Copies of this chain bind each other. A is one copy, B any other.
Amino acid sequence: VRKSREETLNTRKRIVEVAAEELRAKGIDGAGVADIMSAAGLTQGGFYRHFSSKDQLVAEACDVASKTLSDALRAHSQGKPPHKARQDVISCYLSTSHRDNLSIGCPFAALGGELARADANIREVATEGFLRLTNILAEQAHGSESSRRSEALAATSAMIGALMMARVIKDETLSQEVLQAARDALCR
């Protein structure tokens, strides 16, 4: 049942996209190759026609996930005055809906600890994705280039930590309190 070249590329893309969701929802260890393939409407046997290992897929999925997130956040800042843009990006990232939708959200908040233990290639992809995120905030900050960069690194990692902890906390009131506190601290 060989497929056409175009169809093959579409299949590959679909696997990566589905993997990006499954991995964020269940974790790197929690999402199996068979899970991902079946969520993509395929059987596990075909996996190695597209990827040389699960780690390679994880790297590509992590790349796609961070790009999708950056694009979504940049759309929230596009064509707004700097202060408003920053506020909207932060509010969007630290929202209840982002907290509750693991599978389409920030890969760093979902997988951070696992990424830190992952292989070199995955960590490189993750680092690039993190820098892409920080650039969104850095672009509309004021001050010297280095102070803007520094502030963006701190703000981005603070958002990641706050979203992650809001997900850890079971108590709804406290979870909201963490999101609100982080929004206040970053938009002050």
Contacts and interface: CB of A to CB of B under 8 A. Distances in A.
A149 B173 CA distance: 14
Interface string A113-146: 1111100100110110011000000000000000
Contact of A113 (B110, B120, B162, B166): B110
Interface residues of A, number: 52
A124 to B, nearest CB: 6
Interface in A72-128: 102, 108-117, 120, 123-124, 126-127
A157 B162 contact: yes
Interface in A149-179: 149-151, 153-162, 164-171, 174, 177-178
Given A130-B165, A160-B164, A170 B124 contact: yes
B112 A170 contact: no
A1 interface: no
Interface stretch (A3-11, A24-32, A34-42, A43-51): A24-32
A165 B160 contact: yes
B108 A165 contact: yes
Closest 5 CB pairs of A and B: A161-B161, A158-B158, A154-B185, A116-B167, A29-B29
25 contacts: A27-B114, A29-B29, A29-B30, A108-B164, A110-B116, A123-B168, A124-B170, A126-B168, A130-B168, A130-B169, A131-B174, A149-B177, A149-B181, A150-B181, A150-B185, A151-B181, A153-B181, A154-B181, A157-B164, A158-B161, A158-B162, A158-B182, A160-B161, A160-B165, A161-B162
